[in-house]
Amino acid sequence: MTPEGRARLKALIAVSAWGGSFPAIKIALAEISFTTLIWLRFGSGFLTLLLLLFIRRRAGFLPLKEAVIFAGLGFLGLFFHNSIQTYALKTVSAGLSGLIIAANPIGIAAAGVLILGERLDRKTVAGILLAALGVLVILAKGDPGTFLSMGFSFGELIMVFSVFTWALFTVFSRKALQKTPPDVGMTYAIGFGWLFAAFPFFGLGGTAELSNISASTWVNILFLGVVCSGLAYLLWYDALLALPVSEAGVFMYVNPVVAVVLSAAFLGEAVSLSMLAGGVLVFAGVWFVNARQKRPAKAVD
């Protein structure tokens, strides 16, 4: 497998894990507050990545300037982004969550063009639109009028805002990774994210919840921390180092498909024919983008 192929596989695994995070978050929020969930999630993720660094003998200190950059990324892309998404998931439906997630690749591609100067060829644009159509088919559930009649709550608006935070996190990470190895950078980012999450956790009395957490909720917390925050973010950083952000971003379309399937399996949500048809379009769009003729990615200053 080529380096680009490995990077695409890593991106696919990462976003598939994030798709599974939505039902896991909903299950955990039935028992603990979102501030406690965020702190425990980042703590387990940080310890996982730190252990990997020691195993690889790569643990060490970054120069102050690089550490500050990843502190900012930890605040933006881990603490702030995940906090607002987790808070919003207390009220936002799974379908609308998928709609908002579907906007992530568009935001990433736009930010890549505006901030990194990347270019989108026609086949990339066509693949993005094909995958977007698939997500819309899933969310419409056979009724296009769903979008025209939809009202938006405060939680839904917060989810919309999270699209912008994720796009900025992705493009700024792409730039930061030109100087810092992905595993080191991600460990610093999630470590700072955990530190930021400690303020609301301790300030709101989150320690009182720890003794009452059930075994099943701990399983969801560890899945969110070790897999979704630790390993998946590391794989995403590896992919960003090798791929243009617009190409990596299109894999985010897989996220709502996985979320729908796992929500059906664990939360009892029905899977319709329109969902299956939309899933086929999503994966077709991802394949179309990544099967195009490859060209070198533009260098980042």
What digits encode the pLDDT tens for the residues 173-216?
988 988 899 889 999 999 999 999 999 999 999 999 999 999 99
Q: What is the pLDDT of residues 27-72, one digit of tens each?
A: 999 999 999 999 999 999 999 999 999 998 888 889 999 999 999 9
Q: Is 236 exposed, middle or buried (0-12, 13-18, 19+ CB in 10 A)?
A: buried
Per the model's pLDDT, the better-predicted residue between 156 and 167 turns out to be: 167
300 confidence band (pLDDT: 50, 70, 90) = very low
Q: pLDDT tens for residues 241-274?
A: 888 887 888 888 787 778 878 877 777 766 678 7
Between CA 156 and CA 87 the distance in angstroms is 10
Percent above pLDDT 90 for the chain: 39
**What pLDDT digit, counting tens, does each position of 79-107 carry?**
999 999 888 888 776 555 665 676 777 77
pLDDT at 299 over 50: no
The mean pLDDT of the chain is: 83
Q: What is the pLDDT of residues 103-117, one digit of tens each?
A: 777 778 778 888 888
Interval 123-152 mean pLDDT: 70
Select the more confidently predicted residue: 14 or 279. Answer: 14
Q: Indicate whether 21 pLDDT > 50.
A: yes
Distance, CA of 264 to CA of 20 (rounded, Å): 11
pLDDT of residue 134: 77
Phi-psi group of 62: left, alpha or beta (phi > 0 → left; psi -120 to 50 → alpha; rest → beta): beta
- 232 — pLDDT class (breaks 50, 70, 90): very high
CA 263 to chain CA centroid, Å, is 17
* Cβ atoms within 10 Å, residue 15: 29
241: helix, coil or strand?
helix
Using only C-alpha atoms, the chain has a radius of gyration, in whole angstroms, of: 19
